[in-house]
Chain A
Amino acid sequence: MHSHDRITVPAPVHTAPPGGQLPRLLPGGFAPGPASLAEHVRRYGHAPAPLRDWPRRNALLDEVERSGLTGRGGAAFPTALKLAAVAAQAAPVVVANGTEGEPASAKDKVLLARSPHLVLDGAVLAATMVGAREVVVVVHHSVREILDQAVAERRRAGLDRVRIRLVTGADRFVGGEASAVVHWIERGVPAPTLTPPRLSERGLGRKPTLVQNVETLAHLALIARYGASWFRALGTALEPGTMLVTILGAVNEPCVREIAIGTPAGEVLSLAGGASAPLQALLLGGYFGRWAGASEAVRLPFSTAGLSSLGAGPGAGLIAALPADACGLAETARVVRYLADESAGQCGPCLFGLDAVAGEVQRLADGRTSSLATLRCWLGQVDGRGACHHPDGTVRMIRSALSVFAPELERHARGWCCATRKGAVLPVPPRRPR
């Protein structure tokens, strides 16, 4: 049937907008390979000197708060609040989360592959700010070697006062969830754990743990150098700064780009060479995100506020373009099947419920059923009943599909499908034997 590889890590080819400050996180121009320590220092200068005293640490914390930096892992939680919560505890530990379990997303891999030192700077800064002596950096296996070299470079230069430990992330969808990352580091089990207690109070090795997405830490490293006002120069007032976005699907050059938050979605697509075919819909935010009709979505700013009118959000920074000649229901069914298989299998409603839901969505896509009653009932039974948000995110995506692809549902019920495209659009890893 459909076969699809993981999308390979694309090389960003940048044409910096005139007069703008982009790109910030990714190196300008086409640089083969990661930025070495020397190149990193040449471009950004050194990170601020170790923050030995509290007044200076607090000053930096205030700066982060003024910058309005929020998490770039999908939840968009105010970073300053998280830092403060962990800094208030004794003997914390910092986890830099670059697992990126979502198969369609590549931004963290690209960031780590291109600017590893920026991420490491940010991780070390975060550690000093919260008083941690160790940083655990969890990275995708495809960039592990690059990070090994980067850490070795820093060690040779005697750069950091905190210990940096590298761990290869679990190759599972739920592996990127914060508590799953901690569980993975501790016991090699990529399964979320129940919170309470919150990770900021009790996490890795029972210590207060700060888990931060690698992109967030990269922004932190720049805020520490250039200040909050510089950070806020791009983006919107409510959502300042830039973000990395993975653009894939029916675009000419699928890639990762850095955008100012609030850039219209259509413009974001043009950064990837524009649509390669007339578009039907956009999947915004990732596999836990929402579908939206293409014509309405392209005009909206790519930000939480901008997309909220469609009930969508930027999520973990992803736009997937669905062409008009593909079947939205079939794509959704494939993704839901993948998400159901990727359940950690700890909670009954998720393990059994998502499996049942996946089957039902497939039946709808195949036109074998036209009734939504069973599906809607099950969606209600699955939503919010797991230890993590895996079932919730899946339900959200399905509900948006039912809304956006409603006309297609009707056609399928009568035995017709509009799609003419043969291949799949959204990347789904091959089914793993359980």
Chain B
Amino acid sequence: MTRRLRVDPIACEGRGLCAEILPELITLDDWGYPVIRAGSVPDSLMTDAREAVKVCPKLALWLEERR
């Protein structure tokens, strides 16, 4: 089972909180918008990933489960 972090680019406003919480997987581009590293979220980062999803002020980030 893979868990991918996805961002809704329409809702995202480039506030950057997610990148602060999860810098291992999320970096900001030159305009402040998140670039998410491809691939599944490792188990060690799952807590931080869930926190990043919760902290987003626009609810633009979510974890997608795929079997």
A/B touching: CB–CB < 8 A: yes
Contact residues of A with B, CB < 8 Å? 193-194, 346-350, 352-353, 356, 378, 381, 385-387
Partner of B9, one of A349, A356, A378, A381: A349
Whose C-beta in chain A lies nearest to the C-beta of B7?
A385
CA distance A356 to B29 in the complex (A): 13
CA distance A378 to B35 in the complex (A): 13
CA distance A381 to B9 in the complex (A): 13
Answer whether A347 and B12 are a contact pair too, CB < 8 Å, given A381-B35, A385-B35: yes
Known: A194-B8, A194-B10, A385-B9; 6 extra A-B contacts, CB below 8 A, are: A347-B9, A347-B12, A353-B31, A356-B31, A385-B29, A387-B8
For this complex, 27 residue pairs linking A to B, each with C-beta atoms less than 8 Å apart, are A193-B10, A194-B8, A194-B10, A346-B9, A346-B10, A347-B12, A347-B33, A348-B12, A348-B13, A348-B32, A348-B33, A349-B9, A349-B29, A349-B31, A350-B9, A352-B31, A352-B33, A353-B29, A353-B30, A356-B31, A378-B30, A381-B29, A385-B29, A385-B35, A386-B9, A387-B8, A387-B10
- A residues in contact with B9, CB < 8 Å: 194, 346-350, 385-387
Whose C-beta in chain A lies nearest to the C-beta of B36?
A385
Check A349–B8 contact: CB distance below 8 A. Answer: no
Return B48 CB to nearest CB of chain A, in Å: 22
Contact residues of B with A, CB < 8 Å? 8-10, 12-14, 29-33, 35
CA distance A356 to B32 in the complex (A): 14
Total A-B contacts with CB atoms under 8 angstroms apart: 41
- A residues in contact with B33, CB < 8 Å: 347-349, 352, 385
CA distance A356 to B13 in the complex (A): 18
Return A38 CB to nearest CB of chain B, in Å: 47
- A residues in contact with B10, CB < 8 Å: 193-194, 346-347, 387
CA distance A385 to B26 in the complex (A): 14
In order of increasing CB-CB distance, the 6 nearest A-B pairs are A347-B9, A348-B33, A352-B31, A346-B10, A381-B29, A348-B14
CA distance A381 to B35 in the complex (A): 8
- Interface SS of chain B: loop
Return B36 CB to nearest CB of chain A, in Å: 10
Return A381 CB to nearest CB of chain B, in Å: 5
Return B58 CB to nearest CB of chain A, in Å: 11
CA distance A348 to B9 in the complex (A): 7
CA distance A385 to B6 in the complex (A): 11
Return A387 CB to nearest CB of chain B, in Å: 5
Check B30–A356 contact: CB distance below 8 A. Answer: yes
Return B13 CB to nearest CB of chain A, in Å: 7
Whose C-beta in chain B lies nearest to the C-beta of A193?
B10
CA distance A51 to B35 in the complex (A): 50
CA distance A363 to B10 in the complex (A): 29
- B residues in contact with A350, CB < 8 Å: 9
- A residues in contact with B8, CB < 8 Å: 194, 387
Whose C-beta in chain A lies nearest to the C-beta of B29?
A381
Whose C-beta in chain A lies nearest to the C-beta of B30?
A381
Whose C-beta in chain B lies nearest to the C-beta of A391?
B9
CA distance A378 to B9 in the complex (A): 17
Whose C-beta in chain A lies nearest to the C-beta of B31?
A352
- B residues in contact with A194, CB < 8 Å: 8-10
Return A364 CB to nearest CB of chain B, in Å: 18
CA distance A377 to B8 in the complex (A): 22
- B residues in contact with A346, CB < 8 Å: 9-10
CA distance A381 to B29 in the complex (A): 7
Return B7 CB to nearest CB of chain A, in Å: 9
Return B28 CB to nearest CB of chain A, in Å: 10
Most buried by A among B8, B10, B14, B32: B10
- A residues in contact with B31, CB < 8 Å: 348-349, 352-353, 356
- A residues in contact with B29, CB < 8 Å: 349, 353, 381, 385
CA distance A378 to B29 in the complex (A): 9
CA distance A381 to B30 in the complex (A): 8
Most buried by B among A349, A353, A386: A349
- B residues in contact with A193, CB < 8 Å: 10
CA distance A378 to B10 in the complex (A): 19
Most buried by B among A193, A194, A385: A385
Whose C-beta in chain B lies nearest to the C-beta of A349?
B33
Whose C-beta in chain B lies nearest to the C-beta of A352?
B31
